[in-house]
Amino acid sequence: MVVDINILASSDVHGYYMPWDYSMDKPYEKGSLAQISTEVEKQRGLYKNTILIDAGDMFQGNCSELFCEDDIHPAIVAMNEIGYDIWEMGNHEYGYGIKNLQRFIDEFNGEVIGGNVYKDNKRLHKPYCIIEKEGIKIGFIGLVTSLINKFEKGTKAMSGIIATDMKHELELIEKELKDKVDCIIGVIHAGIDNENNVANTGIRDLLKNDDKLTAVFCGHFHDIQNFNIGNTTILEPGKFGQAIAKLLLRFEKSDGNIKLVKKTSEIIPIDASIKPDSEIIKKLNHFHERAVSYSNEEIGILINDCMSEKSEISKIPQMRVKQTGITDFFLEVVRHYGNADVAMIQLDNDNAGINKGIIRRKDINRNYTYVSGGITSYQITGKVLKKILEYSAYFFNESRVGDVNISFNYERQLYKYSSNYFFSNLIYDIDLTSEKRIKNLTYENESPIGDEDKIIFATTKYTMDILIANVLSGEVVNKIYSSKDELREQGSIRNLSCRYIKEVLKGLVEIKPKNNWKIITAPIEKNIREIAIKLINQGYISLINSEDGKCNIKSVNIYDKVDKFDKGLKKSGIDISRFSTKGELYRYANSFIFG
């Protein structure tokens, strides 16, 4: 007898329950629980033995935090209506306090798992659950990144809670499941590779010398993944409901024996071709109306345009390489409420900016996308500040003579959030031709910064954790304030930005860049650079991008040999093989194409 079992998984939905983006206040058809519901019903029609799971971070983002004090949360309403069987806790599930989380769990109709989270030396959740279909028993092990200890350290949200080493717990749970099930599946809220260089925080480390898992459904890093580590299938369905992961298992039952004979996997995109489930829309509509109203709350008036400048070079966002008013605004907020000498932020929206006129809450949320980001202040020294600045400057690659454009350090693009940091109350240059990149550093009042200076430094806790893991190991960094501890969700940078406009600026905002920093690059003849930029912007030549398209990883250089990135010039009738260097080719192309 053959038995097929179809396992579907979402992960990192982050508030996209309805097909609507509340920060943009417009439809979002690239994914939502309402659309996932439609696909799940289709899959259930194809396979009667279908199991539906979520791998964590159902909460946080897209106005989901607005409902955390409600009697029932829209996420739970939707998950129950769709019929989720299993919910593994993600790191953001813990961000709203255990009391709220326990209420969500009590309201959820399925199984909640999370085997490495403890309170008072007892597991807070079940370490696993077993689902049986036609006599086939499948064990699902739940784990969450142990870094939630660091993410929420010092906050009230994780009071009394600790997440232990995932590999240790995995081995314990596997032993407990041995001989109880026919197949073991991991549901693990962690990335593929170790996070912040911490051992056993990535799936690869967990699977070293471990072949007991048939598959792992993972999340946390918001990637789309479908590949194998050894014999274990790894599936990750991205973010915001943009896909679901599918694992189809075929078992043979014969003479009391059960054998897994086949497994196939795929990522099913959730896009505009999949219509939302009308029942989900109906049940979530009153939550939706509240979120729309909240997002459109008038905060103040902007008396000048604060849009980022138009990019000089197509596909290189100007705000990555030049100071902008919008970054200075958020720095002003962080420095003010952090009571800091120096503030630091990063923005993950490369097109950040606000139009002149009414400022609404959604404008703030669209520009500052890190929902959980609160302000945490630390006491550091001038020496530590200089280390942070140098680390930030290595977001960029070295600049060579003849480089047309700035390019970016690929490894730094792999972080979950941008590590292109911006600073307030400092004046400095970033010299990409030098090993020591920060030059001419002073405070904004032009006074020098000594290594022994005591500095109050405000940023997000998540960012400081990354810095400690990568560049500040062994340095003394003392936390002295947390806006989230004091104000809970009202202490987020988003909410404090709205408060700053209302209370400090009295609703009238003028945002202009201070031009406190600039990037120094190697020399190149102005005329040939302008020619090359014109050819890039009109699509004749291409930037040298990474294979995954995350960024341009090498600069176009006029002294380099002609290569595949120049092939667009062939369309204009130019034989590019005649030219030995890019500079020669570009000069000829300029006269040939533009006259």
pLDDT digits over 321-379, tens only? 998 899 999 999 999 999 999 999 998 888 888 989 999 999 999 998 877 789 999 99
422 and 560, same domain (yes or no) = no
Q: What pLDDT sits at residue 464? A: 93
Among 478, 500, 520, the domain-final residue is 520
For helices 74-82 and 278-295, what crossing angle results, to 10°? 170
Q: What pLDDT sits at residue 484? A: 87
C-alpha R_g of the chain: 26
When pLDDT is cut at 50, 70 and 90, the band that residue 203 belongs to is: very high
Q: Residue range 275-283: average pLDDT?
A: 97
Separation of CA 471 from chain center: 21
Closest CA to 422 of 477, 471, 350: 350
Whether pLDDT at 496 is above 80: yes
125, HSE (Cβ side, Cα atoms, 13 Å): 32
pLDDT, mean over the chain: 93
Q: What pLDDT sits at residue 24? A: 86
Among 224, 258, 290, the domain-final residue is 290
Tokens of 562: 């002609």
- Which alpha helices (H) appear in 28-179, and where do they start and end? 33-46, 74-82, 98-107, 148-151, 166-177
Other Cβ atoms closer than 10 A to 463: 20
Tokens of 217: 């459904």
Q: How would DSSP label each residue in 274-326?
A: SPPPHHHHHHHHHHHHHHHHHHT-EEEEESS--PPPPPSSTTS-HHHHS--HH
Q: Residue range 529-548: average pLDDT?
A: 94
Q: Are 94 and 161 in contact (CB under 8 A)?
A: yes
Distance CA 403, CA 57 (A): 42
Q: Residue range 303-330: average pLDDT?
A: 87
Among 460, 495, 520, the domain-final residue is 520
Q: Are 241 and 31 in contact (CB under 8 A)?
A: yes
Q: Residue range 212-220: average pLDDT?
A: 97
Closest CA to 141 of 206, 82, 205: 206
Distance CA 471, CA 387 (A): 7
- Split into its structural domains, the chain has a count of 3
Burial code (b: 16+ CB inside 10 Å, e: under 16) for 432-451 equals: beeeebbeebeeeeeeebee
Q: Are 546 and 413 in contact (CB under 8 A)?
A: yes
141 and 213, same domain (yes or no) = yes
Domain containing residue 570: 526-594
Share of the chain above pLDDT 90, in %: 79
When pLDDT is cut at 50, 70 and 90, the band that residue 69 belongs to is: confident
When pLDDT is cut at 50, 70 and 90, the band that residue 523 belongs to is: very high
Residue 203 identity (one-letter amino acid) = I
66 and 171, same domain (yes or no) = yes
Q: What pLDDT sits at residue 308? A: 66
Beta bridge partner(s), residue 117: 163
Separation of CA 478 from chain center: 26
Beta bridge partner(s), residue 161: 119
Sign of CA dihedral 35, 37, 42, 43: positive
572 and 511, same domain (yes or no) = no
| Element spanning 365, H or E | helix 361-367
378 and 507, same domain (yes or no) = yes
371 and 342, same domain (yes or no) = yes
Domain at 488, CATH number: 3.90.780.10
Separation of CA 134 from chain center: 40
84 and 208, same domain (yes or no) = yes
Q: Which distant-in-sequence residues (6+ apart) come within 8 Å of 291 by Cβ?
A: 20, 22, 62, 63, 66
**103-159: pLDDT as tens digits:** 999 999 999 999 999 988 899 999 999 999 999 999 999 999 998 887 766 566 667
Tokens of 317: 């966002």
Q: Which distant-in-sequence residues (6+ apart) come within 8 Å of 413 by Cβ?
A: 546, 550, 551
Q: Are 32 and 77 in contact (CB under 8 A)?
A: no
Other Cβ atoms closer than 10 A to 131: 20
Other Cβ atoms closer than 10 A to 82: 20
Beta bridge partner(s), residue 269: 243
Q: Are 375 and 491 in contact (CB under 8 A)?
A: yes
The residue that leads in pLDDT, 157 or 257, is 257
Domain at 115, CATH number: 3.60.21.10
Q: What pLDDT sits at residue 152? A: 67
Q: How would DSSP label each residue in 500-536?
A: IIIIISTTEE-------EEEE-----HHHHHHHHHHH
Q: Residue range 453-458: average pLDDT?
A: 98
399 and 304, same domain (yes or no) = yes
Whether pLDDT at 416 is above 70: no
Q: What pLDDT sits at residue 126? A: 97
What separation in angstroms does the CA of 122 have from each of 125, 159, 229, 360?
9, 14, 32, 45
Burial code (b: 16+ CB inside 10 Å, e: under 16) for 540-575 equals: bbbbbbeeeeebbbbbbbbebebeebbebbeeeebe
330 and 363, same domain (yes or no) = yes
Phi, psi (deg, nearest 5) at residue 391: -60, -45
Residue that the structure tokens 């004979």 belong to: 261
519, HSE (Cβ side, Cα atoms, 13 Å): 23
414 and 323, same domain (yes or no) = yes
Q: Residue range 470-481: average pLDDT?
A: 92
Q: What pLDDT sits at residue 542? A: 95
Tokens of 299: 């905060």
Share of the chain above pLDDT 70, in %: 98
Whether pLDDT at 417 is above 80: no
Whether pLDDT at 543 is above 90: yes
140 and 241, same domain (yes or no) = yes
446 and 567, same domain (yes or no) = no
